[in-house]
Amino acid sequence: MVIIAILKYLIITAKVTDMKKMTFTILFFAICSFSFSQLNDSDRRKQPYSKQDLQLNLKLAAKGSSRAMNAIGMQYKFGFGVEKNYLEAFKWFNKAAHSGYSKAWFNLGVMYKYGIGVQLDFSEAYKCFSNASSMNDPFGWYGQGYMLHKGLGVGQDYFEAYKLFRKGTAVGHSPSMYMAGICLRNGYGTEINIDSSRFWLAKAASLGYQFAKDELAAKEPENQPGATKLLLKIKEASLLIGNKNPVNQYTIIKHSLPATDIEGDFEGFLLKYDWSGKQIIQVSPLALNLSYSAGRLSGLWKEKDDNISLPFKAFLTNKGLVFENMEYKKTDHYSPVEPIRFDFKSASLQLLKNDDTVYLNGNLQLYSPDRQEPEKPFQILLKRTNNKSSYNGEIAFLDDNGLDLKTVSGVSVFPNPFTTICNIQFVLKRTSTVYTQLLSIDGKILYTQPTATLASGSYILPLQPSFNITPGTYLVRLILGKQAKTIKVVKQ
């Protein structure tokens, strides 16, 4: 069938870094095939759906067919017989879901999970998957279990996730078989059972599930609590705890940096935990060089095991550290060959003194654009080895967007989503040169408003491009001198 051919093409041509997203895409197509084949209780179609099929589906939808509504959503989502339109796809999936079609709830969840035609929202995605799950839909069991497994949009819970995956295994659902195998191999939500793990991974692999084949080829599991080398590294890392918190599980660090002593050379470890934060799965030597100026930290970040060295750029807020365009690529257990891109998002740091020793502990949050998900939690354990500090003044904090708190506050965009005009609202605390821009989601400048010099006060600036822009997700940027604030918006 054409659907099968499309799936094979997608799998063959997909990068390894896209495979997690591909899992949901494959399920999307599977639902598409199921829905179309059931519309008229006829044989499955052997041709991609056409404009005529869209008209037929619209007629059936007008009569209340939730399957037809879901099929229309599929046609718009993938461009089957109609121009691709994610907003229309979302609208029809929403109609089908609220008409009681379980597969549409799953499709709607995928839209929310990846921000397709709607703002990315893990919480809404989880709700949609849960609705499908409550209707005993295998896709819903998998989607809800996946979100619980990683704690995306819901409290992390391996135990409940594993129960949902096992429900999927009972009906031959290969992604659920794979995830059940992962849980059994690592002890996530169940006791470690290598034989059972291999059984379910092999069964998923026999159905062509590539992730299962990759896991069977991996010599070791992700979680190796008894590995001698890992235990030795954990013991060494435990010596670098200025606040005496245990390192065997993830600890939330309260951000606290004093006015001085933030600069210098630091060495220690970067600890990576599993999704629950209760198991250390990797310990990497880390070296950090820090310099401070006007609310910003700069220097060098070095992960020795992976031979990674990149410029350190971040600004300080009252809540923590926000990184500025810091990213790297590295492999991990689930992508051992193709490096995954990771963006540095934020960190909370705590600088502590113990006699003449200075410790820098903290939490680190990374995000993977390739997987469109946050990475597992990290903890930083460092000790200063060389104090090169030349700064003796007070530490200045910026707002969450890196803007000087003495210059601007209250930056927001409304309405969002918008149809023709969106407004940028802010409060200037001193005279500044201001202009606004509209950018594509990949950062291409589409429109720039004229520059103006504004005195202190409250402002609402309308942004209305002189040309029509298609529905989708864009970026609005407010620029004040050398500072900039960017907000994601949706055009309906």
Residue among 114, 10, 19 nearest 336 (CA): 19
pLDDT tens-digit series, residues 54-80:
899 999 999 999 999 999 999 999 898
pTM, entire model: 0.75
Highest mean pLDDT among 28-37, 383-392, 431-440: 431-440
| Residue 218 C-beta-side C-alpha neighbours within 13 Å | 24
pLDDT band at 16 (very low <50, low <70, confident <90, very high): very low
Burial class of residue 43 (count of CB atoms within 10 Å of its CB; 0-12, 13-18, 19+): exposed
How does pLDDT run across 113-137, given as a tens digit for each residue?
999 989 899 999 999 999 999 999 9
Please state, as a whole number, how many other Cβ atoms lie within 10 Å of the Cβ of residue 288: 20
Q: Residue 194, Cα to own-chain centre: how many angstroms?
A: 30
pLDDT the model gives residue 86:
94
Q: What is the average pLDDT across 435-459? A: 84
Report the pLDDT value the prediction gives residue 420, as an integer from 0 to 100: 82
9 vs 413, residue with greater confidence: 413
Q: What's the average model confidence in pLDDT over 466-491? A: 81
Cα gap 204→179, rounded to integer Å? 10
User: For position 416, what pLDDT does the model report?
Assistant: 87
pLDDT the model gives residue 389: 60
Q: Which residues of 447-486 are buried (b: 16+ CB within 10 A; e: fewer)?
A: bebeeeeeeeeebebebebeeeeeeebbbbbbbbeebebe
The token pair that represents 221 in the structure block: 């599991």
Q: Write out pLDDT tens, residues 237-295.
A: 776 665 556 677 888 888 877 656 788 899 989 999 999 999 999 989 999 998 888 77
Look up residue 249 and give its amino acid: Q
Architecture category of domain 408-491 in CATH: Sandwich (2.60)
Using alpha carbons, select from 53, 150, 162 the residue that is nearest to residue 375: 150
Q: Which helix (H) or strand (E) holds 365?
A: strand 357-368
Query: Percent of the chain having pLDDT more than 90?
Result: 47
Predicted pLDDT of residue 393: 53
Among the residue ranges 20-34, 128-142, 156-170, 347-361, the one predicted with the least confidence is 20-34
- pLDDT-derived band at 46, boundaries 50, 70, 90: very low
Helix count and strand count (H, E) for the chain: 13, 18
Q: How many CA atoms lie within 13 A of 306 on its CB side?
A: 21
Give per-residue pLDDT as tens, 100-114. 999 999 999 999 999
Is the pLDDT score of 17 beyond 50?
no
Q: Which of 33-37, 129-133, 173-177 has the lowest average pLDDT? A: 33-37
Give pLDDT, residue 241.
60
What pLDDT does 366 receive? 95
Nearest residue to 249 via CA among 238, 263, 260: 238
Tell me which of 43-52, 101-110, 291-300, 464-473 is least confident: 43-52
Looking at every residue in the chain, the average pLDDT score rounds to 83
CATH code for 228-386? 2.40.160
d(CA 20, CA 189): 21
Give me the pLDDT at residue 13, please.
Answer: 33
Q: Is the pLDDT of residue 89 over 80?
A: yes
Tens of pLDDT, residues 284-330: 999 999 888 877 889 999 998 888 999 998 888 778 888 888 999 99
More confident residue, 25 or 49: 49
360 token code pair: 């820098």
Q: Taking a C-beta distance cutoff of 8 angstroms, is the pair 126, 119 a contact?
A: no
Residue whose structure tokens are 């990475």: 375
Angle ∠(490,127,76) on CA atoms, nearest 5: 50
Three-state SS for 64?
Answer: coil
Domain spans of the chain, in order of start:
2-156, 228-386, 408-491
Instruction: Give pLDDT, residue 42.
Output: 24
Average pLDDT for 369-383: 92
| pLDDT of res. 342 | 95
Residue 474: per-residue pLDDT: 87
**CATH for the stretch 2-156:** 1.25.40.10
Residue 33 has pLDDT above 70, yes or no: no
